[in-house]
Amino acid sequence: MTDVFTKKKRSQLMALISGKETKPEISVRSFLFRQGFRFRKNVKTLHGKPDIVLPKYKTVIFVHGCFWHGHESCSKGTRPTSNVEFWKTKIQRNIDRDSKVKNELNALGWHVITIWECEIKNKGSFSAMMNKLISLLKSLNRTKK
């Protein structure tokens, strides 16, 4: 399928997409805060500037968009059919960077959790994922003591 916008217009639209303060990030942060967890956001001193940092639990959370981070088992993770080489290279760089960041944070003793956009897209899956996250954080806190 060809793009309905000109290259210039498409470029302007893509430039408007922000990497921070996305709806999925805000949803996860709001839930954690309501449950009594305190965190910092986008800590620049940590590799990859994690979306959510829970220092008490030595845990970082990345909330990834399925398209931008190449989520393979998701329909939102499919790549565009136009400009194929560009998108293949761009998304692969993101995947490689994510892997490198995760390894660096693990080496520094941080627990790294990745939450995919599709895992929290509806109320049911959001609740299931958040309950799983809370259980994991509580278990990390118990093993720390």
Q: Provide the residue range defining the domain that includes 87.
A: 18-144
Distance CA 32, CA 52 (A): 10
Alpha-carbon span 96 to 91, nearest angstrom: 9
pTM (two decimals): 0.84
The answer as to whether 80 is a domain residue is yes
Which CATH number fits the domain that encloses residue 110? 3.40.960.10
Instruction: Please report whether residue 7 resides in a domain.
Output: no
| Arithmetic mean of pLDDT, 127-135 | 94
Contact 19, 73 (CB under 8 A): no
Tell me how many domains the chain contains: 1
Q: How far is the C-alpha of 47 from the C-alpha of 86, rounded, in Å?
A: 25
Of residues 98, 89, 80, the one with CA closest to residue 14: 80
Closest CA to 98 of 126, 66, 132, 124: 66
- State CA 7 to chain mean position distance: 28
Residue-by-residue DSSP string for 23-49: HHHHHHHHHHHHTT---EES-TTSTT-
Domain-embedded: residue 134? yes
pLDDT in tens, 17-42: 666 678 899 999 999 999 999 999 99
